[in-house]
């Protein structure tokens, strides 16, 4: 029997080596076809008396990352169609559909012949759940091995037996930690948790897996044997009586109740450990069916799984432009930001020239890269040899002539129009015809900067976020005259350095910073109203933001806020900045020298370690304080999310953002907009545009006209539209017509 995605070779010992190697794909993923073939393989190997056992492995450099995009989309299409065609029977049909993988893996587990999973590289999600259903698991000790059940990060949870098997192999605390955080395990850690039986050298992986079968591996899971006991004794023990209340409290503290899937993990494990294994699988299946129908799951999967992959693969790349092959990148400005851009470029294997006004400044930039390499080597994330190779690709220079053969030059100098003008002119004097010039400006409009260029068609913005080596987002900004080649080159570069791009049209602050400063400005309003600062920060975290607005302002620098405000007043007039905001920031910077984390004092104080940062006590003395009991925390949460979402909607109305995927992904990756919502526009779509408009009008009546819903939102509310409906990134309506 032949298969499209698998090969089977049975050796003289009767061990069938099943190799998963999907054609024309860089990674194995689960599709309906793959699952059908796995079921046929189970049946074939069971019926063949010559097969004594099965080793299941990957023919690629990694095992599998889990489900395919089309399969994920198909799940939600099934949900929608079943609800529409058979509302009463929809739940049962969805329950049966989502259980396909659960019971297929159970079929492996109970097939009567031993199966061993030989894990190389990444093994995540359903692929690890398949491995857990095998009777033996062997993993390579290569650094590339990452084992995880990361589903909670996209709004769902391990729903193919993961919650039941992990909790019956590892102790409950480790099992819950792994699944509720979605964190990756090394092969060694997985073995220590009893999730993997052996860890071997890569070259011995298959031999070790086969040897397990030769040594008499029993084709029975531990929980199917009489007398099986859960590690730690299960639910009804003194230790469990301490664990479970604490686990619930910790989950509440970490998620503020915003992630239904995380709570479903606790419920599945707690209930599942009290019943026979197959009943536990049904409990898990029931919760998975419920979670899959939540707004959070739909929105998170769409933005954090589907859209991120689509944007990362070039969804906005112009057609008909040849793919770029980068032989040299130039970075002008070797400060911390420029040096970090140089570092991620070299990390992608691309030679980079780090240019500054003199060799001393350029050398300091190279030293920043050396520090980043030393940190990575020290943490075991990079070998010394790889670090040396990376640094060898970075050439410090004070001579613009070294940029004469660059394919792309990125300017990362001080945020000053005159300084940038001088750099643009010097670079273009040596830059070859057809090469692209990109500015890393964070606020200055690209069209205005491009006026200093002799070839604005080759001028574009590539806005990085700090710290560059950690932040996964880049904004690619189109000036009015930016051409398709410049956009394609920018997107090819972003793909090469393995970051996610969003493409936006030109405006002050672009997309991310416009939204960020709305968030921070709302905190300024709350301070002026006398809301206790601690309540401001905590309300933002309860709303799902990773850091409070005051803490975020300290990170970006309070004096930078002052510069941006002054620039806005200079360019747009006094009305562009609230006087009370300007007064607050002037007092912080000019009178109190509180500039943020960089000088150890801002809205927070930053004492020497090991002491932790804390809200500056004097902050509450700047304004008369409300009593905490008089402040409605839910309203604070609504204000934070609504003001950001409103700004995102304005960027769509103004034509700055044209694809809702980019607003959603950009808001989450750029500044951590409440991930459970799926992003700023999904937040609106998720509650319904009409409900959002009603909320904004209510907030506007009490807290100011900046909450007034825009004409676009009012029109969408009247027509029952959504952002993904009206601004359909897939052109579904057009195709249907």
CATH of residue 396's domain is 3.40.50.720
Determine the average pLDDT of the residues in 193-198.
97
Determine the average pLDDT of the residues in 435-443.
91
Choice between 422 and 509, residue whose per-residue pLDDT is larger: 422
Determine the average pLDDT of the residues in 196-213.
96
CATH of the domain at 643: 1.10.1040.50
582 token code pair: 């300007």
pLDDT in tens, 287-307: 999 999 999 999 999 999 889
* Residue 606 scores a pLDDT above 70: yes
Same domain, 462 and 519: no
Determine the average pLDDT of the residues in 321-345.
95
CA atoms within 13 A on the CB side of 607: 7
- Residue 46 resides in a domain: yes
pLDDT of residue 737: 37
Of 246-260, 620-634, 720-734, where does mean pLDDT reach its minimum?
A: 720-734
Same domain, 160 and 37: yes
Determine the average pLDDT of the residues in 518-542.
97
Determine the average pLDDT of the residues in 43-53.
96
Q: What is the mean pLDDT of the chain?
A: 94
pLDDT of residue 568: 87
DSSP H/E element including 477: strand 473-478
From the list 197, 463, 614, 706, the catalytic residue is 463
- Residue 319 resides in a domain: no
50 token code pair: 């010559």
| Prediction pTM value | 0.92
- Residue 317 resides in a domain: no
Residue pair 540/582 in contact by the 8 Å Cβ criterion? no
pLDDT confidence band for 508 (50 / 70 / 90): confident
pLDDT of residue 735: 46
Residue pair 224/277 in contact by the 8 Å Cβ criterion? yes
pLDDT confidence band for 462 (50 / 70 / 90): very high
205 token code pair: 């992986």
Q: Provide the residue range defining the domain that includes 480.
A: 329-508
pLDDT in tens, 159-185: 999 999 999 999 999 999 999 999 999
pLDDT of residue 734: 42
Catalogue the long-range contacts made by 72-81 (C-beta closer than 8 Å, 24 or more residues apart).
72/301, 72/305, 72/306, 73/306, 74/32, 75/292, 76/298, 76/301, 79/292, 79/293
Determine the average pLDDT of the residues in 478-483.
95
* Residue 122 scores a pLDDT above 50: yes
- Residue 208 resides in a domain: yes
- Residue 315 resides in a domain: no
Same domain, 88 and 177: yes
Residue 709 DSSP class: P
Same domain, 261 and 356: no
Same domain, 500 and 523: no
Same domain, 43 and 73: yes
Identify whether 463 is a catalytic site residue: yes
Catalogue the long-range contacts made by 676-679 (C-beta closer than 8 Å, 24 or more residues apart).
676/155, 676/258, 676/259, 676/296, 676/299, 676/300, 676/544, 677/296, 677/299, 677/544, 677/641, 678/155, 678/296, 678/298, 678/299, 678/300, 678/302, 678/303, 678/304, 679/299, 679/303
pLDDT confidence band for 358 (50 / 70 / 90): very high
Given 452, 482, 508, the domain boundary residue is 508
If one counts the domains in the chain, the total is 3
- Residue 632 resides in a domain: yes
* Residue 342 scores a pLDDT above 90: yes
pLDDT confidence band for 736 (50 / 70 / 90): very low
Phi and psi at 4, nearest 5°, equal: -75, -40
Same domain, 471 and 520: no
pLDDT of residue 84: 80
Share of the chain above pLDDT 90, in %: 86
**Rg from Cα positions in the chain:** 28
pLDDT of residue 427: 94
Same domain, 545 and 501: no
pLDDT confidence band for 443 (50 / 70 / 90): confident
* Residue 715 scores a pLDDT above 80: yes
Same domain, 517 and 503: no
- Residue 653 resides in a domain: yes
Same domain, 288 and 414: no
What is the Cα–Cα distance from 123 to 147, expressed in whole angstroms? 5
Same domain, 275 and 380: no
Characterize 428-446 residue by residue with b for buried, 16 or more Cβ atoms within 10 angstroms of its Cβ, and e for exposed.
Answer: bebbeeebbbbbbbbbbbb
Phi and psi at 285, nearest 5°, equal: -60, -40
Choice between 9 and 79, residue whose per-residue pLDDT is larger: 9
* Residue 586 scores a pLDDT above 80: yes
Same domain, 105 and 149: yes
pLDDT of residue 732: 62
- Residue 594 resides in a domain: yes
Locate all alpha helices (DSSP H) within 499-619, ordered by sequence.
Answer: 512-529, 533-542, 549-556, 558-572, 579-586
Going by C-alpha positions, the residue among 15, 24, 20, 17 that lies closest to residue 5 is 20
Given 508, 523, 551, the domain boundary residue is 508
Given 480, 508, 536, the domain boundary residue is 508
Determine the average pLDDT of the residues in 82-88.
80
* Residue 413 scores a pLDDT above 60: yes
């Amino acid at each position: 029997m032949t298969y499209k995605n698998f090969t089977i070779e049975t050796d003289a010992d009767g061990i069938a080596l099943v190799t998963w190697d999907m054609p024309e794909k860089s990674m194995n993923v689960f599709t309906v076809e793959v699952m059908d073939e796995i079921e046929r393989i189970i049946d074939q190997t069971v019926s063949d008396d010559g097969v004594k056992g099965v080793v299941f492995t990957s023919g690629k450099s990694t095992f599998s990352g889990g489900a395919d995009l089309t399969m994920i989309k198909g799940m939600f299409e099934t949900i929608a169609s079943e609800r529409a065609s058979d509302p009463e029977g929809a739940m049962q049909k969805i329950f049966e559909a989502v259980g396909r993988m659960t019971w297929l893996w159970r079929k492996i587990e109970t097939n009567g012949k031993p199966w061993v999973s030989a894990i190389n590289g990444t093994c995540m999600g359903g692929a690890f759940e398949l491995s857990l259903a095998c009777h033996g698991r062997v993993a390579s000790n290569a650094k590339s091995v990452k084992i995880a059940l990361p589903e909670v990060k996209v709004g769902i949870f391990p729903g193919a037996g993961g919650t039941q098997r992990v909790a019956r192999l590892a102790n409950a605390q480790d099992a819950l930690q792994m699944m509720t955080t979605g964190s990756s395990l090394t092969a060694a850690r997985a073995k220590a948790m009893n999730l993997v039986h052996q860890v071997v050298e890569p070259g011995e992986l298959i031999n070790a897996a086969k040897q397990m079968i030769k040594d008499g591996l029993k084709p029975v899971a531990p929980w199917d044997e009489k007398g099986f006991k859960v590690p730690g004794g299960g639910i009804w023990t003194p230790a469990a009586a301490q664990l479970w209340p604490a686990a619930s409290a910790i989950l509440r503290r970490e998620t503020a109740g915003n992630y239904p899937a995380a709570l479903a993990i606790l419920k599945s494990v707690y209930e599942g450990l009290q019943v026979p294994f197959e009943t536990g699988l049904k409990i898990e299946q029931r919760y998975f069916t419920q979670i899959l129908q939540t707004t959070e799951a739909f929105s998170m999967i769409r933005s954090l799984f589907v859209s991120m992959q689509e944007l990362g693969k070039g969804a906005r790349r112009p057609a008909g432009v040849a793919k770029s092959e980068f032989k040299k990148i130039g970075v002008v400005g070797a400060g911390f930001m420029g040096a970090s851009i140089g570092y991620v470029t070299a990390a992608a294997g691309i030679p980079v020239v780090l240019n500054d006004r003199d060799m001393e400044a350029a050398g300091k930039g190279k030293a920043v890269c050396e520090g980043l390499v030393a940190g990575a080597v020290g943490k075991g994330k990079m070998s010394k040899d790889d670090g040396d190779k990376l640094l060898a690709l970075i050439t410090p220079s004070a001579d613009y002539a070294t940029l004469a053969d660059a394919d792309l030059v990125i300017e990362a100098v001080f945020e000053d129009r005159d300084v940038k003008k001088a750099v643009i002119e010097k670079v273009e004097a040596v830059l070859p015809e057809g090469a692209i010039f990109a500015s890393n400006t964070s606020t200055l409009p690209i069209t205005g900067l491009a006026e200093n260029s002799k070839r604005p068609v080759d001028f574009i913005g590539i806005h990085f976020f700090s710290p560059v080596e950690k932040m996964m987002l880049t904004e690619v900004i189109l000036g009015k005259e930016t051409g398709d080649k410049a956009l394609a080159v920018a997107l090819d570069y972003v793909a090469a350095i393995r970051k996610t791009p969003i493409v936006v049209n030109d405006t002050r602050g672009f997309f991310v910073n416009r939204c960020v400063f709305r968030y921070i400005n709302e905190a300024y309003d709350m301070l002026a109203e006398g809301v206790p600062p601690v309540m401001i920060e905590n309300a933002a975290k309860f709303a799902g933001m990773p850091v409070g607005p005051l803490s975020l302002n300290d990170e970006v620098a309070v004096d930078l806020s002052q510069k941006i405000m002054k620039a806005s007043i200079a360019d747009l007039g006094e009305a562009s900045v609230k006087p009370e905001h300007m007064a607050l920031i002037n007092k912080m910077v000019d009178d109190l020298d509180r500039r943020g984390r960089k000088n150890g004092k801002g809205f927070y104080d930053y004492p020497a370690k090991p002491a932790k940062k804390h809200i500056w006590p004097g902050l509450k003395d700047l304004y008369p304080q409300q009593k905490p009991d008089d402040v409605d925390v839910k309203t604070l949460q609504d204000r934070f999310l609504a003001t950001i979402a409103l700004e995102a909607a304005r960027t769509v109305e103004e034509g700055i953002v044209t694809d809702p995927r980019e607003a959603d992904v950009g808001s989450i990756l750029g500044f951590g907009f409440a991930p459970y919502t799926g992003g700023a526009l999904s937040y609106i779509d998720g509650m319904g545009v009409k409900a959002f408009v009603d909320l904004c009008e209510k907030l506007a009546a009490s807290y100011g006209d900046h909450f007034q819903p825009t004409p676009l939102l009012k029109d969408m509310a009247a027509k029952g539209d959504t952002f993904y409906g009206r601004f359909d990134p897939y052109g579904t309506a057009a195709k249907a017509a």
